[in-house]
Amino acid sequence: MKPFAFDYEKPATIAAALALLGEAGDDAKVLAGGQSLGPMMNMRLARPRQLVDITGIPELRQVTDDGDAVVFGACVTHATIEDGRIPDPTGGMMPDVACGIAYRAVRNRGTIGGSLVHADPAADWITTLAAIGAEVTVTGNGGQRQIAVDKLMMSTFETSLAAGELLVSIRVPKFSSDARWGYYKFCRKTGEFAEAMSAIIVDPARGKTRVAIGAIDTRPVVIADAATLVSNPESITTVIEENGLANDPYDAQVRRVSLWRAIEQVLP
């Protein structure tokens, strides 16, 4: 199957991209890598009349040090993070997560911002960056605003971006030197969609112990104060049950194992 006919534009600035999105309204889709949108268009699950390719905007590929954080442009690719060609504020966590996304061909073109806005519950960045406590900057005709990643995704394939808004950057706080992290996802085979996913950071110097449980039916479950869970892993089953993640015995088991294996990585 082939996609519906569409117009294609590749603006050189954020302002030009916003103008195109404003003109096309609901008929527009943003292309930031196309590793999900392309197949959806070919299967006619997505039928945009206007495709706005933002990968030619230099600002969206920049990475800057912002003191206590690193700011990633929305069009930074997974492979760029995986290869360590840019600063890593997370002590190896982000490169480790990036190298497990799908396949190298996908990572060469797929982008961190595109993944977040696609809002697939099984995607790696939506869970990882929610655990880290990152935030995104979005811009539109009404100006800029910041959204915490754990509030960005509303439901499957649905975000809190307003019509005409564009995600332009992701601000990731720097881990302290003694911070520890864990990440574990379960897939039936490499490159397939995750069936269970958990991420955890323990950063005593910043007073942060956060857990995110992803690959569920909606946005990740985030436990902002997970110190008790880390000190008492026997409570994993209770956490899974209390958050409504134990309705199916198989799903409950792989989620328990995923969470335990992530926690194992941060234990002394």
- Predicted confidence at residue 1, as pLDDT, reads 64
Handedness of CA 141, 70, 182, 92 (dihedral sign): positive
pTM summary value: 0.94
Three-state secondary structure readout of 33-86: CCCCHHHHHHCCCCCCCEEEECCCCHHHHCEEECCCEEEEECCCEHHHHHCCCC
The per-residue pLDDT string of the chain (268 residues; one tens digit each, 9 = 90 and over) reads 677 788 899 999 999 999 999 988 778 889 999 888 888 888 888 888 889 999 999 999 999 999 999 999 999 999 999 999 999 999 999 999 999 999 999 999 999 999 999 999 999 999 999 999 999 999 998 899 999 999 999 999 999 999 899 999 999 999 999 999 999 999 988 878 899 999 999 999 999 999 999 999 999 999 999 999 999 999 999 999 999 999 999 999 999 999 999 999 999 8
- Predicted confidence at residue 268, as pLDDT, reads 82
Comparing CA positions, the residue from 125, 130, 105 lying closest to residue 114 is: 125
Distance CA 118, CA 114 (A): 6
- Predicted confidence at residue 41, as pLDDT, reads 83
